[in-house]
Amino acid sequence: MKKIELSDRQIENASELLKKHKTYSSFSQNKSDAYAFTKIIGVKICPYCNINYISTIISGKKKILRPDIDHYFCKSKHPRFQLCLYNLIPSCLTCNERLKGNADFMKVPHAHPYFHDFDSLMHFCVELRQSNDYLDEKNLEISFSPYKNESKSLQNRANNNIETFKLKERYQVHADQVIDLFKKAKFYWKAKKTEISRLLYGNSMELSNWSYSAIERILFLEKDCDINQVSFGKLKKDIINRYCLKK
């Protein structure tokens, strides 16, 4: 969901691997090259959903697991892009095969993991369905809202990702992740944080904004996380910064 930034070395190494092959079939059937490619790109969490881990796992000479490699522009409809580096997106099985399939992103533009930063286009928000009980999973509705400073065309791309990859529905199933954060925010209110600060820093210390900030970092580890390295990283980061921290 955060734009994948590739270094010059990554681009060079990945391109050299792809140049060895004339077709994607040849490339994907060569285990060493396919595994080396996803290892070079180094994405740990699916960039489409930010839910599923997609690490490349190699033990000695044994190739154990690697991500699916999605063709942003479907290779059956746009074969000329089948070995283009920026058309090859490491992703999870759910996003690639189960949901995207042969969808034509040339006709319906989506946010591209190498070129667009979904994280800066949309943020998670939570609405209460009936009562004011925000600790009841059934009462929470998880949705997305656009950042107002981005262009309409980019927001449309992000909305297409939300629809194609069924992000609202998939995140709704994981409402417990939000509840856990709300419980922390409710339990560790200011008086409790003061108590913890005194335990950590001593009664004689004058409690400052810095000490409260340090406690918040301990309680909410995902506040400033690299969302491309943490499952549910964007959800947690957005919810923490929007609802859980005292302004």
Q: pLDDT confidence of 244, banded at 50, 70, 90?
A: confident
CA 111, chain centre distance (Å):
13
pLDDT higher for 212 or 5? Answer: 5
Distance CA 14, CA 223 (A): 32
pLDDT at 82: 97
CA 162, chain centre distance (Å):
12
**Residue 192 identity:** K
Give the whole-number percent of the chain exceeding pLDDT 70. 89
Backbone dihedral angles phi then psi of residue 82, each to the nearest 5 degrees: -65, -25
User: Could you give the C-alpha distances from 226 to 46, 159, 177, 210, 241, in angstroms and in order?
Assistant: 13, 22, 17, 22, 14
Are residues 68 and 92 in contact, defined by beta-carbon separation less than 8 angstroms?
Answer: yes
pLDDT at 194: 66
Are residues 166 and 99 in contact, defined by beta-carbon separation less than 8 angstroms?
Answer: yes
Q: Which two tokens stand for residue 129?
A: 């369905």
CA 96, chain centre distance (Å):
15
Pairing outcome for strands 88-91 and 122-128: unpaired
Q: pLDDT confidence of 102, banded at 50, 70, 90?
A: very high
Q: Which of 246, 240, 195, 238 is nearest to 220 (CA)?
A: 240
pLDDT at 177: 95
Q: Which of 111, 113, 125, 121 is nearest to 238 (CA)?
A: 125
pTM reported for the whole predicted model: 0.89
Q: Which of 42, 39, 37 is nearest to 14 (CA)?
A: 37
Give the whole-number percent of the chain exceeding pLDDT 90. 76
Instruction: List 124's β-bridge partners, or say none.
Output: 144
Mean pLDDT of 45-55: 97
Q: Taking each helix axis as running N to C, give the angle between helix 8-19 and helix 31-41, from 0 to 180 degrees, rounded to the nearest 10.
A: 160
Are residues 181 and 239 in contact, defined by beta-carbon separation less than 8 angstroms?
Answer: yes
